[in-house]
A = this chain, B = another copy of it.
């Protein structure tokens, strides 16, 4: 069994604190910079690469990070996690999302069930169901094929699946894998459900209700919205709706659904894209084979994360450098910048995954920690971001570490040549240019046009954003966040910080308020 210690009690913490800082602009300029690009690189799954040449590290810092990984027993902790230890101490649960896509270690038995077999069984059930929907064997009340799938869920039941759908929509259309359009209803704001229902052909839409507990108020409210809309059109809701939930939830055996698919308490919402939560909507939209490839990419990346040597383990190295930036360089946020329009909502998903996992002030034993933990995560696709907030990234008073993502090829392979280059070339020329501009800067007599440089970034480069690459990308960040949680000695798998708001909202609705809450309720006409 590994030992869980606060980060600031480790020897490597003090060593990192005292280590000489790297002057990034200096080391990245000239031939030394070229050498770093060649050297500081780690292969990922699906033909991708993690390159950290433009991070504020050198061999000495990396040696200390390697030492930290060992001292904090990060690989042992990962092993314990995937072998079924109760890593989520707050909720006393195992953490098994890696098991939804592969067997990394021992069999994990819970509630008398082999959990890997359970996840495979559900994946197969979803695959069979999807095929029947695509063939028309399962159809609407009039016997007509469903053309649209609409997920009703919030948080992890929305952001991840939505980001994955958008990431693969173009790829699927190009590669004749596109089966059904997907839409998503998430917000309790009635304008969300109304706008989506206004746009879709309800009579040919299959709705997926996603709630692990079966009690998420926003989701149940939106279900009622949808059921009302179906009934108003003379349709039977039970013929238009399936559920993804846990076996113990009130939705599991309800007549309200055509079918129910299961996940369990060992899959956190923000880690559920590779379970039925992502599986149902992605299998329906693109076919079960596409979803299987997505899982395969994730499983391979999970495998790479087992390597004890951070120099060969991209998620681990990424995690360690992030911790170094946060705790020793003092950078409070990180921007995720995919140079791929298909990843437009990927930063929003990472924002949840990272900030909800590690945005905590107490360690896994409930004791306050004396160091900063998870950063703010934000981002938009490049080149759009370049014409937006990059001004601050280049010349603002704070330094924001950057995470670039790029692909050699576009998804659609449709391009146009202007001024001697294609759009994909321009896109990638921009990301290369940005990395160097951020790292090296530029002197100018006009201080307004001066770039100090020293702004660190890493880049993940893939061949093409296909299902395997997307799976690998997702797993990379899940594992990065996991390793960082281990370093900070946090429980990355609960979210007690969302509870107080829920409790107070119920009081407002029950008119049990006083003080400021009563006044705000008045202002808001509640």
Contact = CB atoms under 8 A, between A and B. Distances in A.
A18 to B, nearest CB: 22
A468 interface: no
A424 B194 CA distance: 12
Top 5 nearest A-B pairs (CB, nearest first) are A359-B392, A155-B387, A33-B516, A433-B504, A37-B519
Given A389-B352, A497-B394, A516 B225 contact: no
A190 B414 contact: yes
Interface string A349-362: 00110011111111
Contacts of A9: none
16 contacts: A90-B448, A155-B388, A189-B423, A190-B412, A191-B412, A332-B398, A366-B447, A373-B396, A376-B392, A391-B497, A408-B525, A409-B525, A428-B526, A429-B506, A436-B515, A448-B491
A351 B525 CA distance: 30
A221 B424 CA distance: 11
B389 A34 contact: no
A53 interface: yes
Interface in A280-300: none
Interface in A309-365: 332-333, 339-342, 348, 351-352, 355-362
Contact of A416 (B224, B339, B394, B520): B224
A518 interface: yes
A31 interface: yes
Given A34-B516, A358-B392, 17 more contacts: A33-B516, A34-B515, A190-B416, A192-B341, A195-B412, A221-B423, A356-B388, A359-B394, A366-B447, A368-B447, A387-B498, A390-B497, A409-B525, A429-B526, A432-B524, A433-B503, A436-B504
Contacts of A421: 509
A369 interface: yes
A498 B195 contact: no
Nearest to A28: B516
A260 B208 CA distance: 46
Given A49-B523, A461-B523, A195 B341 contact: yes
A526 to B, nearest CB: 5
A505 B397 contact: no
Given A395-B360, A524-B408, A187 B381 contact: yes
B373 A376 contact: no
Contacts of A357: 391
A508 interface: yes
Q: Which of A339, A501, A517 has the most CB of B within 10 A?
A: A501
Given A154-B383, A195-B341, A412-B194, A505 B429 contact: yes
A501 B432 CA distance: 9
Interface stretch (A246-254, A438-446, A472-480): A438-446
Interface string A402-421: 00001011111011101111
